[in-house]
Structure 1
C-alpha cells in the first residue's frame, strides 16, 4: 500500500492503466459482439483519454471518498489488511464505475435524450466486470508490481 504521495500517484497510475484498459476492452467487445484481436488494439486508442479521466477522478474524488467510506466499515491497524484492501477496492469500484460509465456514455453514445437510460445500462453492464476485475485480477497484480517497485531494503 502506498505510504507517500509519490507512491500514491504511482499506484494510482498503475491501477488506472490496468483497470481502464480492461474495461475499455470489455466495452468495445460488447459493442462489437465479442472479443477479437482488433478489440485489444482499439482499446489502446481509448486508453489515453479514459486513463487521464480515470486518474483525475480517482485522485480528486473516488480515492479520498472511497477511503472515508471504507473506514466506516474497517479500522486500519485493527482489522486484517485483506479486509481493509477489500473495503477500499469495493468502495472505489462503487464510485468509479458510475462516474467512468457516465464519461464513456457521453463520449461514445452521445449527449442525447437517452443519456440517463444509456448511462444506467452502461453502469449495470460494467459494474460486475469492474468489481470482479478489481478484486481478483487488477488489484492483486498491481499490488504485486507495486511491492516490487517500492520494497524497503
Structure 2
C-alpha cells in the first residue's frame, strides 16, 4: 500500500484508470445490449474525462470519507490487513459509485426533469458491478502492479 504522498497519487491514478475503464465498458455494453470487441476500443474515448473526474472525486471527497467509514468497521493494527483492504475497497465504492454515476448521468444521459430518476437508476445498475470489479479485479490487479513497481512486500 502507498507510504508517501507520491505513492498515494500514483496508486490512485492506477486504481482510477482500471475502475473507470471497467465501468465504462460495462455501461457501454448495457446501452448497446451486447458486449462486442469494439466496445473495448470505444471505451477509450470516454476514459480521459471520466478518469480526471474520478481522480478529483477520489482525492477531494471519497478517499478520506471511505477511509473514515471503513475504520468504523475495522481497526488498523487489530484486524487482518485483508479485512482492512476489503473494508476500504467496499466503502470507496459506496462513496464513488453514486458520485461517478451522477457525473455520467449528466454527461451521457442528459440533464432534464428526469435527472434524479436517471441518476438513481444508473447508481443502482452500476453499484453491484463496481463492487465486484473493485474487489475481484481492479483492487487485486492494481495492488499487484503497485507492489511490483514500488517493490512492496506481501507483509505490507
TM, length-normalised to structure 2? 0.96
Matched with 2:126 is: 126
Matched with 1:97 is: 97
**Residues 89 and 143 of structure 1: CA distance in aligned 2, closer, same or farther (over 3 Å):** same
**Following the alignment from structure 1 to structure 2, what is the Cα–Cα distance between the partners of residues 128 and 152?**
30
> Aligned to 2:10, what secondary structure does the other structure show?
helix
Matched with 1:56 is: 56
Question: Aligned residue pairs: how many?
Answer: 153
What stretches of structure 1 of length at least 5 have no aligned partner? none
**Following the alignment from structure 1 to structure 2, what is the Cα–Cα distance between the partners of residues 34 and 118?**
21
1:11 counterpart = 2:15? no
Task: Give the deviation of 1:152 after TM superposition.
Answer: 5.3
**Residues 38 and 70 of structure 1: CA distance in aligned 2, closer, same or farther (over 3 Å):** same
1:27 counterpart = 2:27? yes
**Following the alignment from structure 2 to structure 1, what is the Cα–Cα distance between the partners of residues 124 and 152?**
41
Structure 1 segments, 4+ long, off by >6 Å, are none
Q: Deviations over 1:7-36 (max 9, x none)?
A: 000000000000000000000000011101
1:68 counterpart = 2:68? yes
**Residues 26 and 152 of structure 1: CA distance in aligned 2, closer, same or farther (over 3 Å):** closer
**Following the alignment from structure 2 to structure 1, what is the Cα–Cα distance between the partners of residues 79 and 113?**
46
What stretches of structure 2 of length at least 5 have no aligned partner? none
**Following the alignment from structure 2 to structure 1, what is the Cα–Cα distance between the partners of residues 45 and 152?**
36
TM, length-normalised to structure 1? 0.98
